């Protein structure tokens, strides 16, 4: 049985469970405080704090885990990065008070105090730049430290920037770009690696499907060449005869979800009818 460490609460936990469920690895938990859950097949989930996951996986208590790339880097343990799960996107940034006059990392003076929940990455960032700062480790709410006089600047996570702004802080440099990642232990044997490859493919097929839609439409036969330009599809669109369809044929294609409205409008302009768009559960090109 392969143990996968997943966040038990916090920002990443819901989306991780949703992704595993969509990949057919249903997280079956009994009660909110469950410590483990069967994922079906070869996998078992263990629920731990997102911060602890890099340690658990590095020590081999779990063969793989899902957590933020920021936390993996802060832990500084050797792990194999298997895949970027593309959610939980955020940046670890240096931020200073608006009125401080600091507008870039160069404005940070030697001796300044930097509050952060990421003391290791903070120290590393400034050391590499040859700046001597004093890191003040905090376990949360670093953004209030400058107002309390505990620190001059902060190194904190942000996604929209609104929390920093609300606290009168200005982003002046990026330390790290983060998102949720699937990581594996360096101690895994060949069988574990094979099973993890299957897990990776299952999760990857769901991620690939999320950005795509399956589109079906009836197309006037003479408009087919132009429709092909609008609908490249994975291997060019599928064209199917319609019983008693007259001058129309049916066209099916996988299209990017982002531009679906533009695609629909282009098809309508070419005389297409009966346009149907559905979500795709999994995509394995
Ligand atoms: P938690 O503190 O348990 O809610 O989880 C925090 C993790 O969620 C972080 O380590 C990041 O990997 C991720 N995350 C994504 N967006 C943000 C954000 N805007 N602020 C803080 N953490 C974020």
Model confidence over 46-89: pLDDT tens digits? 999 999 999 999 999 999 999 999 999 999 999 999 999 999 99
Specify the range with the lowest mean pLDDT, choosing from 6-10, 63-67, 115-119, 181-185: 6-10
| Ligand 1 interacting residues, C-beta cut-off 6 A | 10-12, 50, 68, 70-71, 88, 90, 157-159, 178
pTM: 0.89
Residue 34, pLDDT score? 66
Atom 6 of ligand 1: nearest residue by CA position? 11
Q: Which pLDDT does position 35 carry in this prediction? A: 76
Picking from 244, 248, 234, 237, the residue whose alpha carbon sits closest to that of residue 283 is 234
In the three-class reduction of DSSP (H, G, I as helix; E, B as strand; rest coil), residue 149 is classed as: coil
Tell me how far the alpha carbon of residue 117 lies from the centroid of ligand 1, in angstroms: 11
Domain harbouring 266, CATH code = 3.30.70.120
Extract the tokens encoding 76. 């500084």
Exposed e or buried b for every residue in 163-175, given b needs 16+ CB within 10 A?
Answer: ebeebebbbbbeb
pLDDT recorded at residue 189: 94
Could you tell me the pLDDT band of residue 31, with boundaries at 50, 70 and 90? Answer: low
Of ligand 1's listed atoms, the one at least distance from the Cα of 13 is 3
Write down the pLDDT at residue 76: 96
Co-location of 82 and 183 in the same domain: yes
**What pLDDT is stored for residue 1 in this prediction?**
86
Q: Which of 7, 68, 166 most suits a substitution to test ligand 1, by most atoms within 8 Å of the C-beta?
A: 68
Range of the domain at 250: 212-279
In a domain, 284, yes or no: no
Backbone angles phi, psi at 19, to 5 degrees: -65, -45
Check residue 90 and give its pLDDT. Answer: 97
What CATH number corresponds to the domain at position 174? 3.40.190.10
Give, using CA atoms, the residue closest to atom 11 of ligand 1: 68
Contact 4, 65 (CB under 8 A): yes
C-alpha span between 282 and 280 (Å, rounded): 6
Measured in Å, residue 71 CA sits from the centre of ligand 1 at: 9
Confidence tier at 30 by pLDDT (50, 70, 90): low
Q: What percent of the chain has pLDDT over 90?
A: 85
In this prediction, residues 159-180 reach a mean pLDDT of 95
pLDDT at res. 234: 63
pLDDT above 70 for 32: no
What is the tally of structural domains in the chain? 3
Say what the pLDDT of residue 196 is: 94
pLDDT digits (tens, 9 = 90+) for 243-282: 988 899 999 999 999 999 999 999 999 999 999 999 999 9
Q: For residues 5-18, give the mean pLDDT.
A: 94
Percent of the chain with pLDDT strictly greater than 70: 97
Residue 263, H or E segment: helix 260-269
Mark which of 208, 224, 247 sits at the end of a domain. Answer: 208
CA of 86 to the centre of ligand 1 (A): 13
**In testing the pocket of ligand 1, which one of 51, 69, 86, 88 has its CB within 8 Å of the most ligand atoms?**
88
CA distances from 169 to 114, 246, 272 (A): 13, 65, 52
Strand stretches in 22-144, DSSP E: 36-38, 43-48, 64-68, 80-84, 90-97, 113-116, 134-137
Strands annotated E in the chain: 2-7, 36-38, 43-48, 64-68, 80-84, 90-97, 113-116, 134-137, 153-158, 169-178, 180-184, 212-220, 238-241, 248-256, 273-279
173 and 160 in a common domain: yes
Q: Which atom of ligand 1 is nearest to the CA of 160?
A: 19
Whether 33 and 155 map to the same domain: the answer is no
226-235 pLDDT, tens digit each = 999 999 766 7
CA of 273 to the centre of ligand 1 (A): 45
CA dist 264 and 239 (Å) reads 17
Specify the DSSP element, H or E, that contains 18.
helix 11-22
Q: Which band of pLDDT confidence, cut at 50, 70 and 90, is reported for residue 236?
A: confident
Same domain, 31 and 161: no
Among 187, 208, 229, where does a domain finish?
A: 208
Q: Is 64 strand, coil or helix?
A: strand
Whole-number pLDDT of residue 237: 87
Position 217 scores a pLDDT of: 96
Rounded to the nearest angstrom, the distance between the alpha carbon of 92 and the centre of ligand 1 is: 10
Say if 121 falls within a structural domain: yes
pLDDT at 41 over 80: no
Confidence band of 285 (pLDDT split at 50, 70, 90): confident
């Amino acid at each position: 049985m392969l143990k996968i460490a997943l966040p038990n609460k916090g920002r990443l936990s819901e989306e991780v469970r949703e992704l595993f469920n969509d990949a057919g690895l249903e997280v079956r938990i009994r009660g909110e405080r469950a410590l483990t859950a069967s994922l079906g097949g070869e996998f078992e989930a263990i629920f731990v704090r997102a911060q602890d996951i890099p340690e658990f996986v590095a020590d081999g208590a779990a063969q793989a885990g899902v957590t933020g790339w920021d936390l993996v880097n802060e832990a500084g343990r050797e792990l194999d990065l298997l895949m970027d799960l593309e959610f939980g996107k955020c940046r670890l940034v240096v931020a200073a008070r608006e009125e401080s006059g600091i507008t870039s990392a160069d404005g940070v003076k030697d001796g300044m105090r930097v509050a952060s929940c990421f003391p290791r990455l903070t120290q590393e960032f400034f050391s590499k730049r040859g700046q001597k700062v004093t890191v003040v480790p905090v376990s949360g709410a670093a953004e209030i430290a400058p107002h309390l006089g505990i620190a001059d600047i902060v190194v904190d996570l942000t996604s929209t920037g609104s929390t920093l702004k609300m606290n009168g802080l200005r982003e002046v440099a990026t330390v790290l770009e983060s998102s949720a990642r699937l990581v594996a232990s360096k101690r895994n044997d060949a069988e574990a690696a094979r099973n993890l490859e299957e897990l990776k493919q299952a999760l990857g097929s769901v991620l690939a499907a999320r950005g795509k839609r399956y589109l079906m439409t009836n197309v006037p036969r003479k408009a087919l060449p132009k429709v092909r330009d609008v609908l490249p599809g994975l291997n060019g669109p599928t064209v199917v005869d319609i019983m008693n369809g007259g001058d129309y044929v049916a066209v099916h294609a996988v299209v990017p979800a982002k531009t679906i409205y533009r695609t629909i409008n282009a098809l309508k302009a070419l005389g297409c009818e009966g346009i149907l768009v559905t979500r795709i559960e999994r995509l394995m090109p």
